[in-house]
Amino acid sequence: MATTILAVDDSVTMRKVLEITFAGPEFRCIAVPGPDAALDKLKSDKPAVVIADVTLEGKNGYDLCKAIKQASPSTPVLILSSKQNPYDSAKGSAASADDYMDKPFDSTQMLEKVRKLLASPSKSAETPKAPETPKVVHAPAMTPKPAAQPQIAAASPAGAAPQRAKTMLYNPQGVNTQAPAAAAKPEAAKPAAAAVAAAAAAPVNGQMTAQLEAMGLTPAQVEGVLALSRDVIERVVWEVVPVLAETLIKEEIARLTK
């Protein structure tokens, strides 16, 4: 359905220009020469937009705009001004005019302005909302809490220094705060390795002495062979015992920390 446009201008030429501008299926233009005819058409045809010339007989464009807003506040009104009669923003604001355009105008710009007015509500139709009364929220009465009883710390003996918590580590030789023996280097096992070597060499020397003497070796030769054998035994023990000792210590620590 075509949108009705009411054009008000006392110039026959201008009315014809407006009719041509809004010709087509989108709009239906009704052009009238004066304010009285415009108010009659406002009641009968209920136009969607009114275009009123600023200079009219009887009432000017601002007066007509004010009358239109009183009769139909939601109807947008566009004032047509010119270089000879420029738009007065103070009068336009007092009359609640929605927009204005100078003559001569471009048809495309006129159509854009009218479409914009149709898409947005009229200024006079925008009723400002009353400010909301702030709600007074009464805070609940605070019940005073009883004063906390002072805590009396247990008295420490005079001159006694505060004791620190100690992390106790397991030690086969006793309880202390040092790192476990596993963190130490394998050098600590050397005395044990020497003892093992001596213990292992003792029975071997006794057996080999008898065998070497039976073979006819002199005591000096027997001593040389025994010294060589003892050196070999100690070398083997020095290589094996520290590794075994370290392995045993690690296994013991792993068992204790599970």
* Distance between CA atoms of residues 40 and 67, nearest Å: 12
* Cα dist from 30 to 19, 20, 80, 109, 247, whole Å: 7, 11, 16, 19, 110
The verdict on 112 and 191 lying in the same domain is no
* Distance between CA atoms of residues 237 and 194, nearest Å: 8
Q: How far apart are the first and last CA of the chain?
A: 90
In the chain, the number of structural domains is 2
Q: Is residue 27 part of a domain?
A: yes
**Does the predicted TM-score (pTM) go above 0.75?**
no
Task: State the burial class of residue 9 (Cβ atoms within 10 Å of its Cβ: 0-12, 13-18, 19+).
Answer: buried
Residue 98: predicted pLDDT: 96
What range does the domain containing 30 cover? 3-119
Length of the chain: 258
Q: Is residue 132 part of a domain?
A: no
The verdict on 22 and 107 lying in the same domain is yes
Residue 11: CB atoms within 10 Å: 14
Q: Is residue 199 part of a domain?
A: yes
Q: Is residue 150 part of a domain?
A: no
The verdict on 26 and 115 lying in the same domain is yes
Q: Is 205 helix (H, G, I), strand (E, B) or coil?
A: helix
Helix (H) or strand (E) holding 4: strand 3-8
Residue 141: predicted pLDDT: 55
Structure confidence by residue, pLDDT tens digits, 70-125 = 999 999 999 999 999 999 999 999 999 999 999 999 999 999 999 999 998 766 55
Final residue in a domain of this structure, among 119, 135, 169 = 119
Final residue in a domain of this structure, among 73, 98, 119 = 119
Residue with the bigger pLDDT between 1 and 5: it is 5
Residue 209: predicted pLDDT: 72
Q: Is residue 166 part of a domain?
A: no
For residue 163, the Cα-to-chain-centroid distance in whole angstroms is: 48
Q: Is residue 15 part of a domain?
A: yes
165: pLDDT strictly greater than 80? no
Q: Is residue 50 part of a domain?
A: yes
CATH number at residue 60: 3.40.50.2300
235: pLDDT strictly greater than 50? yes
Structure confidence by residue, pLDDT tens digits, 17-65 = 999 999 989 999 999 999 999 999 999 999 999 999 999 988 899 999 9
Residue with the bigger pLDDT between 149 and 21: it is 21
The verdict on 8 and 95 lying in the same domain is yes
| pLDDT level of residue 133 (50, 70, 90 thresholds) | low
Closest C-alpha to 255, from 147, 180, 165? 180
The verdict on 200 and 96 lying in the same domain is no
Closest C-alpha to 18, from 80, 94, 66? 80
Tokens in use for 81?
């001004």
Final residue in a domain of this structure, among 65, 98, 119 = 119
